[in-house]
Amino acid sequence: MFIPSRLLIAAAAMSLLAGCATNNPYQDQSGQTGMSRTAKYGGLGALAGAAVGAMIPGDHHGRNALIGAAVAGTAAAGYGYYADKQEAQLRQQMAGTGVEVQRQGDNITLVMPGNITFATDSADISSDFYAPLNNLATSFKQYDQNSIEIVGYTDSTGSRDHNILLSQRRAQSVANYLLSQGVNGARVTTRGAGPDQPVASNATEAGRAQNRRVEVNLRPLPGAQVSQPTTQPTTQPLTPR
């Protein structure tokens, strides 16, 4: 069925402008501001919605196209905008801590290097790392529509079995602390990857230091309701022992 091109253009423009009109806190790693995911997803959703709306039987194809664009554009932009806001908060909270915030699509990854998280061959959280973890717990309670996978990694020094166990204990230590601060345990999983998936060469000390890390992967929960972040009561951080 023919859809007037001017309606498709108008629908896309409406959704893109709506996305751009919101404050887009997302910036890529180089610091250059890109198109917000709200605008991008909203624009694509609007085009699809316009096509579906125009196919509804009746004499109001143009009106139906615009309605379909508005509904689909809003739905498509929802999690992108939600993730934009969460990412911006995490970047602000983790600034200067040594924790790297990465973004790929709707997934956010926090990379915690071993030199700030745990002592050598230990699963006891370093005292300086409690403050960043407290901030993470606050964010995870406010933004509660994604799963939290915590993965521990080691370098290749020592036996594989030892490293797998050590990396699992480290991931679990991070998880236990987050849970103690009120993060919903149903969202949290842990895994020890040991020396697998190195990010640098294990042939040098600098490379091994990069491989010793904990990563926290945030992914949207199925059927997540993302209209507004959840406001949580403030909890008193535990005192490190």
What does the pLDDT read at residue 223?
Answer: 75
Q: Which residue ranges of the chain lie beneath pLDDT 50?
A: 11-12, 14-34, 46, 48, 50-52, 67, 69-75, 227, 232-241
What does the pLDDT read at residue 42?
Answer: 54
Beta bridge partner(s), residue 2? none
What does the pLDDT read at residue 79?
Answer: 80
Pairing of strands 107-113, 213-220: antiparallel
Q: Which of 106, 137, 121 is nearest to 238 (CA)?
A: 137
CA distance 188 to 115: 24
Q: How many CB atoms lie within 10 A of CB 51?
A: 17
Fold of the CATH domain 96-220: 60s Ribosomal Protein L30; Chain: A; (3.30.1330)
What does the pLDDT read at residue 5?
Answer: 54
Query: What's the predicted TM-score (pTM) here?
Result: 0.67
Tell me the two tokens of residue 225.
Answer: 């309701």
Q: Please answer whether residues 51 and 20 qualify as being in contact, where contact means their C-beta atoms are separated by less than 8 angstroms.
A: no
The per-residue pLDDT for range 127-183, each reduced to its tens digit, is 999 999 999 999 999 999 999 999 999 999 999 999 999 999 999 999 999 999 999
What are the boundaries of each domain within the chain? 5-81, 96-220
Which amino acid, one-letter code, is at 106? D
What does the pLDDT read at residue 27?
Answer: 43
What does the pLDDT read at residue 210?
Answer: 95
